[in-house]
């Protein structure tokens, strides 16, 4: 089962370049990132995220063209299935993971994947020194698009 925190769900414009993205926080995070902005997501909290819930969230947020799972939870099979459902709706499926390596089944399920734990001294995606990477699958190949965030740093 994958759980999400309904009150944290929002439409965002900067997490996935050129996409109007519905971002959904997933609980049961496996990460232990120092300086984590949402350490409460390590807990088993929230409500089950199902195809029905996703369908309703998409209907309630007209105009989104990407669904972002902010975290993986602890059920990769369900996560993969939900990503497939998102794609069946005509939306791009995106995943923010704090891990550096992901299972092939997860790689196959998503159009965008951010990898790497947050390391405070390396900074977030908009810092050219970051260890995190955002990849976009283009014609079956993963392309690193992290540098698209660097111009946004103030």
Tokens of 138: 């283009």
CA distance 128 to 46: 34
Question: pTM to 2 decimals?
Answer: 0.94
CA distance 87 to 79: 12
Instruction: Express each pLDDT in 54-112 by its tens digit.
Output: 999 999 999 999 999 999 999 999 999 999 999 999 999 999 998 988 989 899 999 99
Neighbours of 110 (CB within 10 A): 26
Q: Please, are residues 1 and 28 in contact by the beta-carbon 8 Å criterion?
A: no
Question: pLDDT at position 31, please?
Answer: 80
> Within the chain, where are the H helices?
51-60, 76-88, 104-109
Domain residue limits, the chain? 3-152
């Amino acid at each position: 089962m994958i759980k999400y925190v309904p009150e944290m769900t929002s439409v965002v414009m900067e997490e996935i370049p050129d996409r109007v993205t519905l971002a959904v926080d997933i609980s049961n995070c496996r990460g232990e990132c120092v300086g984590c902005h949402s350490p409460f997501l390590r807990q088993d909290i929230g409500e089950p995220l199902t195809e029905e819930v996703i369908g309703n969230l998409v209907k309630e947020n007209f105009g989104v063209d990407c669904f972002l799972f902010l975290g993986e939870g602890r059920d990769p099979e369900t996560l993969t299935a939900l990503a497939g459902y998102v794609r069946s709706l005509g939306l791009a499926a995106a995943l923010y993971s704090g891990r550096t390596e992901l299972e092939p089944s997860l790689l196959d399920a998503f159009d965008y994947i951010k990898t790497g734990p947050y390391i405070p001294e390396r900074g977030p995606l908009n810092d050219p020194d970051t260890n995190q990477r955002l990849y976009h699958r283009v014609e079956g190949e993963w392309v690193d698009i992290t540098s698209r965030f660097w111009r946004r740093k103030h």
